[in-house]
Chains A and B, each alone.
Chain A
Amino acid sequence: MTGAAGAALASLVFPGTARSAKHFGTLAESELLIGFAHTSPVNDGGWTQKHDEAIRHLHALYPAIRTLYVESVPYSADATRIFRQFVAEGAQMIIATSNYGDFISDVAEQAPDTIFLECDGHRVSDNLGWYYMTHWYASYVIGIAAARLSRSGRLGYVASFPTPSVLASANATLLGARSVNPSATLRAIPINSWFDPQAAASAGAALIDSGCDFLAGIMDDPGYLRVAQQRGVWAAMWNTDMRQFGPDAYVSSVVLDFAPFYAQTVRRRLAGSWRAEGRFLKLGEGVDRDRWGARVPPAVAREADDVRRRILAGWSPFTGPIRDSRGIVRVAEGHTMSDADIYAWDWQVQGVSGLV
């Protein structure tokens, strides 16, 4: 028992490195019931919609499996109740498409024969794993295009909350931009929401009025893309292809596709080969830059795509020296930030302001 607790502790300390040894038996396709807990409605036009599309893809691949979902699950004890209900309904697999911390791990402890997966989670135990996409590589690639397209070298960023994920996204965008224009800067405005089209549009307009001519961000809605279109500046988005909302302004998106990962997870569960682990989905493995916008010059797209190919081949742009916004070297020359480091990023790189 102590050994198991020790292993669980080790997996808490080293997220992503641990892989549980616990086996789950094989299942027939018709026996599998998966419960999904979503953080927003399935038609939110962004994050949850991408998960919902992946679920529909699962049904096409495995017509006999059954899935349940609950939308807008709050980050509260209500989430615990919903996970428990999934267990009571006989789900062998419960997938939370956002971080639910203790609310999911508590239930996972009490239901050792049910598999739990948490998107953006941090804990691994025998039956609880997590997955997250390494969106920072896509942001870096888009950052390169941003620096080439921006005349002023001032990029704006519509942020939600100053969380590591948002810092990684903003930092990666500017590091990409600085790789071609060392004097580029990025000004972020956190709007304290993942979804508030009016606030996102206001923040975008304020950034443009302050001299930014390229907007990036991490929003579920196309709010600031419309503003960029009206004002004749560039914008890069998140989650989905949003070019219809601003065809002239659209540069690219950090596009997500969870279908391959969910298909693989189900395949492993059916075959009895699923093991709990923390899993980073690499560039091209469920996260990528979107097809470039119609007005992005081919030369710019080519230059950014060359870097994308290098990343796909294994090169990491997150290599020192990297300074923080106070000028202190945080990643020494020759060192490369691992995905786990980037996943826990809690400082702004030099040139980024507004987040911490």
Chain B
Amino acid sequence: MVPLRESIVTLVLALVLHAMAYGSILALAAQGEVLAERAGVVDLGVEGLMALGAVLAVIVADATHSPWAGCLAAAAIGAAGAAAFGCATVILGASQTLCGVALTLLGLGASGVLGHSVAGRPVTATLPQWTLPGLSSGSPIGPVSSQGPMVWIAFLILPLILHVFLFRTAPGLALRAVGEAPASADASGLPVIRIRMLAVSAGGALAGLAGAAMTLSVLPVWSEGMIAGRGWIAVALVILCGYRPVLAALSSLFFGFVMSLGFFGQAQGWPVAPPLMNMSPYVVTILCMIVPSILFPKLRRLWAAPAALGAPYRREER
């Protein structure tokens, strides 16, 4: 019999490991969506872009034997898909909601067609493990220190870069200005359309990368329908985190944690009904949205969406 304390430590470590691996997929997609929404564009196509990225990553990684080429291809298809969405919504001013849903359906369908040849096959070239320097495997948190590169990118590198970019640099300020008051931004000489297109494309690239993280690192296998709604969760997380990249990463980690807690609870035989356990991530999300805004009304303003979110900008109509 393993001592109780040790078994709890093992369990918590296993939970954290899980939360990081699965949360990283959400974190990449959610941070991409933060970029797009900060520029004033709601991209509901995340689910479809993730599906496209996931399948293309496998196809390219198999053909080139390089997982990094697969990641690159996934990011490229994500960016391309998002750019097409941008052409319709940002340049032509079509409804972002409709085009986003269309992009999701298109991505899911196209990924099924593209993936017919690789469905269910083991991926030959997967991403390596990266070990954090300074953490030996002998330390108590050893198992957590070695993970797929996407985990470190999603939780350490990307939040840092995006936070500094959005809140500490002039281009970041320009991006936020375009999302808050495109007319004023335009008047001050900022290229609104170009900035929005760049933000949406970069966000799409991250969504594609999230798909690649799933098929080249976390699972690693592709099959149709494997994104299974995680793109929608990423979109929801963006609202939950108040459009902040660091919080987006943290809430993805938290979501991954609550999700794995449901499985662990059932495996450990906790006396909670499995359906309740399975709905816990969604219940927790709703609670996280409602409770703080009731307790701290000031948060509503701080947490508010960019003012021009979802509204196409037409210079002629300002």
List chain A positions with a Cβ less than 8 A from chain B: 41, 43-46, 49, 156, 187, 189-193, 195-199, 201-203, 205-207, 209-210, 212, 221-223, 226, 244-245, 353-354
Contact = CB atoms under 8 A, between A and B. Distances in A.
A187 B259 contact: no
A192 B278 CA distance: 9
Interface of B: 10-11, 14, 18, 22, 112, 116, 119-120, 122, 214, 218-221, 223-226, 228, 230, 259-260, 263-264, 266-269, 274-275, 278
Nearest to A354: B266
Given A192-B275, A206-B14, A354-B274, 10 more contacts: A189-B267, A196-B226, A198-B214, A198-B230, A202-B263, A206-B264, A207-B267, A209-B14, A221-B223, A222-B221
A43 B263 contact: no
Contacts of B14: 205-206, 209
A188 to B, nearest CB: 8
A41 B224 contact: yes
A190 B122 CA distance: 25
B200 to A, nearest CB: 27
Contacts of A245: 122, 221
B212 to A, nearest CB: 14
Contacts of B268: 210
Contacts of A193: 228
A195 B223 CA distance: 9
A326 to B, nearest CB: 15
A18 to B, nearest CB: 36
A190 B274 contact: yes
A206 B224 contact: no
Contacts of B219: 197-198, 201, 223, 226
Contact of A198 (B22, B267, B269): B22
A210 B265 CA distance: 9
Contacts of A44: 119-120, 223-224
Nearest to A192: B278
Contacts of B274: 189-190, 354
30 contacts: A41-B112, A43-B116, A43-B119, A43-B120, A43-B224, A189-B266, A192-B275, A197-B219, A197-B221, A197-B223, A199-B263, A201-B219, A202-B263, A205-B18, A205-B263, A206-B18, A206-B263, A209-B10, A209-B14, A209-B264, A210-B264, A210-B267, A210-B268, A210-B269, A221-B223, A223-B219, A223-B221, A226-B221, A353-B269, A354-B266
Contacts of B116: 43
A76 B190 CA distance: 51
B271 to A, nearest CB: 11
A229 to B, nearest CB: 10
Contacts of B278: 191-192
Contact of A202 (B10, B112, B260): B260
Contact of B267 (A46, A209, A223, A244): A209
Nearest to B25: A198
A196 B224 CA distance: 10
Given A45-B120, A189-B274, A354-B266, A202 B223 contact: no
A299 B78 CA distance: 52
B223 A244 contact: no
Contacts of A190: 274
A191 B278 CA distance: 8
Contact of A197 (B11, B226, B269): B226
A198 B224 contact: no
Nearest to A193: B228
Contacts of B112: 41
B264 A198 contact: no
Contact of A189 (B259, B263, B275): B263
Contact of A203 (B22, B120, B267): B267
Contacts of B259: 202
A195 B267 contact: no
Contacts of A196: 226, 228
A45 B223 contact: yes
A329 to B, nearest CB: 24
Contacts of A221: 120, 221, 223
Contacts of A201: 218-219
A201 B221 CA distance: 11
Contacts of A199: 228, 263
A163 B278 CA distance: 17
Contacts of A191: 278
Nearest to A189: B266
